[in-house]
């Protein structure tokens, strides 16, 4: 165990500048979900330079396989998402996004560069370990239906057949050098909701001649919140939020229609389905009762993420061995959603958070913001920790 840790720490130190350069290149050249053609090409080029075999998957995805030279039938998959977000970067760093309106504001550049670092470490050490590591560079995490579902449908977990899947995600709320873990229920399902309320528009001075969809929508929004507060089990986390409302009237014009869009999230699939039904029933009845009509569309997104407890407990122990047990911190449920959940439905899977925040360096901006950035000192831990955890699970000492 100590010998393996020493080998990987030495290798991680030796590749850290290469990983840093790759991270900055990826950060400068972000691409939106399922359009990651240049990112995909860059990954292939880097793998070619390492002598690692790869194959394309799900259009802009890449899967690589590194097999240790000692005999073993065990196979683990490591996943990195590669897509960016439609955000205009406000950071003034030299490696600021060159693609206006697109930014790696969720750290997928870090995930990708780190997995390339893992590839380099494992390729260098392949004579020293047993087992097989499959590297999944996955497109489209930020957009339904999610690249994970496409990877699975394309047979990405087969040939060789994967037995467990490991993933990591950066988290600025956790100090750099710390790793956040949670066994069992971890992240929420995510569904998109669109409701169109139709009334009868007219002059703002004559509301009695109209069926005001704005007022109907206001009442509907308040009523919908009671679905969570009065129908969900208080012990079951649920979130119903509406972040978009469009009423194309004017100060003196009552519009004909109002559109609202939001999200529903929970950690229970039974309640999830029940809530969908209740949202549709309530919206239809309430709007009709106020004289209007409504259309409700619920687009079912990612399932909730449940970390496998046995696999997760083992990985947590290995990460503690590598980073120091004092640097492993427990996490609460996080109501964000992740398409890594699809892997967890297929196989034992574990998803952990890598701390990248540093208040002293003013690196505290949240994920999905225009000023998000990381303490790049974590890149050595990011690739080294994942390499060590994977090889330990494969049975190496």
Distance CA 254, CA 183 (A): 51
Mean of pLDDT over the chain? 97
Residue-range domains of the chain with CATH: 2-187+303-393 (3.40.630.10), 191-300 (3.30.70.360)
Active site residues: 83, 141
Phi first, then psi, for residue 201 (nearest 5°) are -80, 175
Is 368 assigned to a binding site? yes
Q: What is the pLDDT of residues 280-334, one digit of tens each?
A: 999 999 999 999 999 999 999 999 999 999 999 999 999 999 999 999 999 999 9
Q: What is the pTM of this model?
A: 0.94
Q: Does residue 203 have a known ligand-binding role?
A: no
169 assigned to a ligand binding site: yes
Over the stretch 344-389, which tens digit does the pLDDT of each residue have?
999 999 999 999 999 999 999 999 999 999 999 999 999 999 999 9
């Amino acid at each position: 165990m100590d010998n393996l840790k020493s080998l990987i720490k030495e290798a991680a130190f030796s590749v850290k500048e290469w990983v840093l350069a790759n991270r900055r290149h990826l950060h400068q050249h972000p691409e939106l979900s399922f359009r990651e053609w240049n990112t995909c090409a860059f990954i292939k080029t880097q793998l070619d330079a390492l002598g690692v075999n790869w194959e394309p998957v799900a259009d802009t995805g890449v899967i690589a396989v590194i097999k240790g030279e000692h005999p073993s039938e065990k196979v683990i998959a490591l996943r990195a998402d590669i897509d960016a977000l439609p955000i205009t970067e406000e950071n003034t760093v030299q490696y600021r996004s060159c693609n206006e309106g697109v930014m790696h504001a969720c750290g997928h550049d870090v995930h990708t560069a780190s997995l390339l670092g893992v590839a380099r470490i494992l390729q260098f050490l392949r004579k020293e370990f047993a087992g097989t590591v499959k590297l999944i560079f996955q497109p489209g995490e930020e957009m339904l239906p999610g690249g994970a579902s496409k990877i699975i449908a394309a047979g990405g977990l087969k040939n060789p057949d994967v037995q467990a899947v490991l993933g990591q995600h950066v988290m600025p709320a956790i100090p750099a050098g710390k790793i956040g873990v949670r066994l069992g229920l971890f992240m929420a399902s995510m569904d998109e909701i669109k409701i169109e309320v139709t009334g009868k528009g007219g002059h703002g001075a004559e509301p009695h001649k109209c069926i005001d969809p704005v007022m109907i929508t206001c009442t509907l929004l308040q009523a919908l919140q009671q679905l969570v507060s009065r129908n969900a089990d208080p012990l079951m986390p649920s979130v119903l939020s509406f972040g978009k409302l469009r009423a194309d009237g004017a100060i003196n014009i009552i519009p004909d229609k109002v559109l609202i869009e939001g999200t529903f999230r929970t950690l229970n699939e039974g309640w999830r389905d029940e809530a969908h039904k209740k949202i549709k029933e309530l919206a239809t009845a309430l709007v009709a009762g106020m004289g209007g009509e409504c259309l409700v569309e619920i687009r079912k997104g990612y399932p909730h993420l449940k970390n496998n407890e046995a696999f997760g407990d083992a990985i947590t122990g290995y990460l503690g061995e590598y980073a120091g047990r004092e640097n492993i911190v427990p996490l609460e449920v996080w109501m964000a959603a992740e398409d890594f959940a699809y892997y967890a439905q297929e196989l034992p899977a574990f998803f952990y958070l890598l701390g990248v925040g540093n208040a002293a360096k003013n690196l505290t901006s949240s994920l999905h913001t225009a000023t998000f950035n990381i303490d790049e000192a974590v890149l050595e831990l990011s690739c080294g920790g994942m390499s060590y955890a994977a090889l330990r699970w494969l049975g190496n000492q």
